[in-house]
Structure 1
């Protein structure tokens, strides 16, 4: 039996809305308060900020512990959220986890700690540094979450050193999301092709900056 005209119109509107929704990435888990501005797509926002944070192996973070703490928190968030963020290639997820390990090592953070705990600690430290309260920043980075305690962690945030893996992984994620945007298949069934990262997490030359 044919639908009434009003019913057909409503069905068409619902179909269009569903198609539009399928072109969008999933929102994912909410980031810690203050990590990114309120948004319908916090993963994309954190990703775009992270790729700028880690450009040129994280050169912008040197001597800027406030930004370094926030950048490390953003990477934690993106690495944790990426597996559920639409059809992201597993190799990108591996690369992000390798980048997270690189940054945790640079900051002497517990490699097995909960990403949420690390994120919250780093955001709290960044906020404290932004208002000039170094003591509060140090207390936000306690041992054993950060080996050596808060003061040692702050010194590492001041000079985290080169972070090439973080640069490459965030650049790969931006490239991957742009490709999925172009193909309009955030919830599609087409398999995401490999992006040059092996199952062991080794990045190939020619991707990112080729380190």
Structure 2
């Protein structure tokens, strides 16, 4: 089985999924988790990593450039730009694609006409690309409070349709995080208990 996160339980879920989504509040560790996975995959296979929020991850990548030897990093700050990148990605034929975060632009343009269709089209096109290249789509998502007062990913109805594996990340103290599998395509795998990890300078450290 491919090594993704360093947690065998979570890696089982990822192995059986085409599309993987991590969501949680700001500073929950979504980017750190994506970069951890990218560090395992992008030294071996062609990857594209798209940021729609910030470029702080470049500092982390610069510390271990060999891990991301086959990765192309880029940014998109509006839907039109993200769509152009998505079309270009299709031509590049990467095995793995990372979008951090996939719904930040949706949050900014949610009330604009066509925003739902744009998010759906971009996501479906990315899925076609990675599936054609026997890879996976990894993404993070920002959150909002639902009408019931619960924390959920913005645009969750759309994301739930396109993502096989959906994982929430909760903050439990300064560095401690709790990860929960919300949705999995694998019914035969026992539902995971809460998985806990810490955010460190070197990345993700899992609690036994």
Q: What TM-score comes out, normalization by structure 2 length?
A: 0.25
Q: Which has the larger radius of gyration?
A: 1
Higher share in helix: 1
Q: TM-score, with normalisation over the residues of structure 1? A: 0.25
